[in-house]
Amino acid sequence: MTFPVRTPDHSPRAVFAREASPSQRSFLPSFRPILRLAAPARFAAGGVLAALMLTLAMPGAAQTNGKPRTKVAQAVLEEEVVPQRYANHPDVDAFINDLVARDGFDRGELQKVFSRVVFSQTAARLAAPPATTAKKNWQVYQSRFLDGMRINNGVRFWNENSAALARASQEFGVPEEIIVAIIGVETIYGRNMGNFRTIDALTTLAFDYPAARNRTERMALFRKELESLLLYARDRGIDPFSLYGSYAGAIGIPQFMPSSIREYAVDYSGNGKINLTGDAADAIGSVGNFLKLHGWEANRPVIWHIAPDPGSQGVAEAGADGRPEPHWKLQDFIKAGLLMNESKLDVGAELGTPVLIVDLPTPGQPTQYRVGLQNFYVLTRYNRSFFYAMAVYELSTAIKAARAP
């Protein structure tokens, strides 16, 4: 059988920042501090470029005369602040009309909300397409997430939340280590949830998305997320200006977009509230619920390993068409000569199993291949990248091994 060959786009920017799934945000956590300025009245009619000098005191390991020496770093941050940019804005006014007609919002209340929204130049800059596209590099990407810090903190997070994780695993059929690894990749277990005011970021990208080939589609998508944010805030009695997250609008420990919060988030601590920012149990239950509703199969593998012989690798290369859903049968590859590297796998019993080929390229080295199953596909629903899904899987196995007695 002949397999079509196509090189998939696994760039972290190929699907960005949690737009169609809760994980669409930038892959790598950003530790860039953003200071949100309240707009003085004298700036009401224009933009101001605020250059902020921060002095960050960081305890260092070096010592002087037996005493810890403090390292001091300075960072200059720039963010254009345009107060009332979205007040009496034609596109925003049309958006308000839609929400009034579709969702029953009060027009005056929405006008007040958007008169307070601030344009975020930083969010717009971070959303801009890169000037040049770097080659995909699995080993570099892998090293960013499979490190001692994430593994050790993953064990700690698991131990501290073992009851909620065990309950979620039983209820949703998702292994504890998978839920832990997703949270570890997303926010380092809640350490880096983002510090952009969500309504500012979403409004900026909904109406001032930077120049891009698909700018119209992106703005439409962010307008849907902005609508979801306003609905969520109204339904839950939350001040929309109180929510903070990534530059693309992802919120909380699991980095859910507003639409995903409304559809998949659960009150797993049983206190009558959904709090993805401060309640680890809610984050754990919500991740489990998301994966289950996207088709997670309990007690089934995520990937299978392929034998390293040239023939098997060649068959895998031919079948790597970039499609994330399982659309081949394992027997298609076995008949073509692919050998598996799984000692406990009953190949004959799995010949009819739907699979895909996962390719993990690194420049200058042979591309690595895996056989992906339904659960691998489900991980790509959280973030639509083979690299992301594989990093979650490998981190999960490392955390589980580190926690074992």
**Is the per-residue pLDDT at 192 higher than 80?**
yes
* Res 130: pLDDT: 86
Q: What's the mean pLDDT in 265-270?
A: 98
**Mean pLDDT of the residues in the chain:** 85
Q: Tell me the C-alpha distance between 265 and 284, whole Å.
A: 10
State how far Cα 340 lies from the chain centre. 31
The band of 131, judged by pLDDT with boundaries at 50, 70 and 90, is confident
**Is the per-residue pLDDT at 176 higher than 60?**
yes
* Res 298: pLDDT: 98
Cβ 252 vs Cβ 283: under 8 Å: yes
Percent of the chain with pLDDT over 70: 80
Q: Tell me the C-alpha distance between 83 and 79, whole Å.
A: 12
Backbone angles phi, psi at 190, to 5 degrees: 90, 0
Backbone angles phi, psi at 31, to 5 degrees: -100, 15
* Strand bridging mode 244-245 / 196-197: antiparallel
Q: Return the H-helix or E-strand segment holding 55.
A: strand 48-64
* Res 79: pLDDT: 55
The band of 73, judged by pLDDT with boundaries at 50, 70 and 90, is very low
More confident residue, 303 or 74: 303
Q: What's the mean pLDDT in 173-196?
A: 97
More confident residue, 160 or 28: 160
State how far Cα 148 lies from the chain centre. 21
The band of 133, judged by pLDDT with boundaries at 50, 70 and 90, is confident
Q: Tell me the C-alpha distance between 186 and 68, whole Å.
A: 33
Q: Which residue has the tokens 């490392």?
A: 398
Options 19, 176, 177, 186, the catalytic residue: 186
**Is the per-residue pLDDT at 83 higher than 80?**
no
* Res 312: pLDDT: 98
Locate all alpha helices (DSSP H) within 173-275, ordered by sequence: 176-187, 198-207, 215-236, 258-264
Radius of gyration of the chain (CA): 23
Q: Tell me the C-alpha distance between 399 and 184, whole Å.
A: 10
* Res 174: pLDDT: 98
Q: Which residue has the tokens 């200071």?
A: 35
Q: Which residue has the tokens 């796998």?
A: 345
Q: Please give the C-alpha separations between residue 306 and each of 209, 339, 343, 372, 380, in angstroms, as whole numbers.
A: 43, 6, 11, 10, 20
Q: At what angle do helices 176-187 and 162-172 cross, to 10 degrees?
A: 120
Q: What is the pTM for the complete model shown?
A: 0.82
Active site residue 227: no
State how far Cα 362 lies from the chain centre. 22
**Is the per-residue pLDDT at 23 higher than 90?**
no
Domains annotated on the chain, with CATH: 41-51+73-132+192-293 (1.10.8.350)
Q: And the tokens for 62? A: 């070096």
Q: Tell me the C-alpha distance between 162 and 139, whole Å.
A: 31
* Res 18: pLDDT: 35
For 136-146, the pLDDT digits (tens) are 999 999 999 99
For 298-333, the pLDDT digits (tens) are 999 999 999 999 999 999 999 999 999 999 999 999
Q: Return the H-helix or E-strand segment holding 254.
A: none
Q: What's the mean pLDDT in 87-108?
A: 97
Type of residue at 259? S
**Is the per-residue pLDDT at 60 higher than 90?**
no
* Res 232: pLDDT: 97
